[in-house]
Structure 1
Amino acid sequence: MSTDTVDQGPDRTSRLEEEGEIAADYLEELLDIADLDGDIDLDIRHDRAAVEVVADEEGSLSALVGRDGEVLEALQELTRLAVQAKTGERSRLMLDVGGFRAARRQELTVLAEETVAQVKESGEEIEMSPLNAFERKVVHDVVAASGLLSDSRGVEPERYVVVQPAASDD
């Protein structure tokens, strides 16, 4: 298990490792029940336990992703609850299945960069299509790195990001 966070104490690291192990056990049981083949990879990224279910055969885990990642979102919540039941603390672990989130992160980064360019060119804010919490976070991070502003508006499941020009110092 690797860590790519900075200045994290040993207690925090061991707690995140414990979260990952609990999540892995939970997911292995689920894979057995569903008669699905998959391996579990554990990591610590951005001060969170990161758990990925990977398979040798592409698409063999698609049932765990669902349409637009809906099943993956639900599975992540169930996994977080399983961790919380064992540790007594709320978990922020991130779950990926078959690289779905990694691929979606790349798509959203490109979309966010294109939107940033449009806002910089027009000087007008742009409302994006509804996104789930993971997707909005990716967009907010890209927008912040560009020097522009963003916020989320609306109510789930229609919550969306608005990309705004940078505040002027006038």
Structure 2
Amino acid sequence: MTNVQPDTEQRSIAQLEEEGDIAADYIEELLDICDLDGDIDIDARNGRAYVSVHAADGANLSLLSKPDTVSALQELTRLAVQSKTGSFSRLILDIGGSRDARRAELERLVARAAERIEEGAAEASLPPMSSYERKLVHDLVAERGLHSASRGEGADRHTVITRVG
């Protein structure tokens, strides 16, 4: 019998902190291998562990803070946590402010899509993105008083924005 928790099960703060500690150890080893300096912060909120890596000016985290790299490292870190806990992890990894940069990019995408709707388009589709990014987009769209829905499957899952009907 496996000990895999369903996505809908809410984790305790202690479980999230354990995930964060395991993830931080994994990332710390990676930074050591890459000979990069970075400070690691762990937080537990909204049913997820958040691990942030930041460094003082002059440290070169830019190599690891590209969106595709952060996404890949997040998946590897989730696997490391899962191998230690036996449970699927939904942890979020941020390196060098990459999540804030991606949120700003998503805000620009939503603003352009909202402009298309205001100019008369029936709907505006955004490119495929992760479930976490789609959640951010849904929140941004709602703040603008518009409606959004996810469509597609797997790697093609994307958000479509429409007027509130």
Question: How many Å apart are 1:111 and its aligned residue?
Answer: 3.2
Alignment partner of 1:84 out of 82, 85, 96: 82
Q: CA deviation at 1:19?
A: 0.6
1:41 maps to a residue whose letter is D
Q: 1:164 aligns with which of 157, 162, 165?
A: 162
Q: Is the 8 A contact 2:113 2:125 kept in 1?
A: no
Q: Could you tell me which residue of structure 1 aligns to residue 21 of structure 2? A: 21
Structure 1 stretches of 4+ with a deviation exceeding 2 A read 113-123, 128-137, 144-149, 151-160
Describe the SS at the equivalent of 2:126.
strand
- Paired amino acid for 2:52: E
Say yes or no: does 1:96 pair with 2:104: no
**What is the TM-score when the length of structure 1 is the normalising length?**
0.79
1:108/1:139 contact within 8 Å kept? yes
- Where structure 2 has 5 or more consecutive residues not aligned to the other structure, the ranges are 1-9
Query: Does 2:29 correspond to 1:50?
Result: no
**Helix, strand or coil at the partner of 1:91:** coil
> 1:103 deviation in Å?
2.0
The alignment-based identity, stated in percent, is: 51
1:140 corresponds to which letter in structure 2? H
Amino acid at match of 1:122: G
Report what 1:6 is aligned to.
none
Query: What is the identity, as a one-letter code, of the residue corresponding to 1:33?
Result: I
2: CA distance between counterparts of 1:96 and 1:113?
24
- Rounded Cα–Cα distance in structure 2 between residues aligned with 1:59 and 1:126: 40
Q: Which amino acid aligns with 1:99?
A: G
Moved more, 123-132 or 51-60: 123-132
Residues 58, 148 of structure 1: CA spacing in aligned structure 2 closer, same or farther, 3 A cutoff? farther
> Which segment drifts farther, 20-29 or 103-112?
103-112
Q: Give 1:83 deviation, angstroms.
A: 0.6
Distance in 2 (CA, whole Å) between partners of 1:84 and 1:131 is: 23
Q: Give per-residue Cα distances to partners, 1:96-145, cap 9 Å, x unaligned.
A: 00001112213312432453354255261112234344332211222234
Tell me whether 1:31 sits opposite 2:31 in the alignment. yes
Structure 1 residue runs without a partner (length 5+):
1-8
Shift of 1:47: 1.8
Q: Supply the RMSD in Å over aligned alpha carbons.
A: 2.4
Q: Is the 8 A contact 2:148 2:162 kept in 1?
A: yes
Q: How many residues align?
A: 156
Compute the TM-score of the two structures, normalised by the length of structure 2: 0.81
Give me the whole-angstrom Cα distance separating, in 2, the residues matched to 1:34 and 1:77: 18
Q: One-letter code of the match for 2:129?
A: L
